[in-house]
Amino acid sequence: DADVTQTPRNRITKTGKRIMLECSQTKGHDRMYWYRQDPGLGLRLIYYSFDVKDINKGEISDGYSVSRQAQAKFSLSLESAIPNQTALYFCATSDPTGGNTGELFFGEGSRLTVL
């Protein structure tokens, strides 16, 4: 089983619908992230969390919200989905105690299509 698991892996929805993407990890890492990837735009940080009580906005947080339900779980919500939120979404974790603070461990991705 993957250390960082995302559900759903694929989702097609309509404009205005509420969508939740879920992420769970078994790596024991405190830091968790949500990124989106668009063709030609690379990976962009949406939100990040250092622990259950510490949640921070990334560079493109508008239109998104997150919830850190536990150390191992970090969910991303789109309250009212719009077509330009169609993208590939990645959850990631990192362990700052290991020294290599730039190493992110990614989930398999959730492909979201908003019609």
Partner 1 sequence: QKEVEQNSGPLSVPEGAIASLNCTYSDRGSQSFFWYRQYSGKSPELIMSIYSNGDKEDGRFTAQLNKASQYVSLLIRDSQPSDSATYLCAVTPSGGSNYKLTFGKGTLLTVNP
Q: Pick between residue 17 and residue 50 the one whose CB is nearest to partner 1.
A: 50
Q: How far is the CB of 79 from partner 1 (least distance, A)?
A: 24
Buried b / exposed e over 20-38, threshold 16 CB at 10 Å, is ebbbbbeeebbbbbbbbee
Is residue 41 involved in binding partner 1 (CB under 8 A)? Answer: yes
Is residue 96 involved in binding partner 1 (CB under 8 A)? Answer: yes
Q: Is 20 helix (H, G, I), strand (E, B) or coil?
A: strand
Q: Which residues pair with 92 in a beta bridge?
A: 33, 106
User: Which structure tokens are listed for 41?
Assistant: 């735009």
CA-closest candidate to residue 109, choices 5, 3, 17, 24:
5
Is residue 71 involved in binding partner 1 (CB under 8 A)? Answer: no
Q: How far is the CB of 81 from partner 1 (least distance, A)?
A: 22
**Residue from 31, 67, 72, 75 in contact with partner 1 (CB under 8 A):** 31
CB under 8 A: which stretch of 18-26, 36-44, 60-68, 78-86 binds partner 1? 36-44
- Cα dihedral value 101, 98, 54, 24, nearest 10: 100
Q: Give residues in contact with partner 1 (CB under 8 A).
A: 31, 40-45, 48, 50, 58-59, 90, 94, 96, 100-104, 106-109
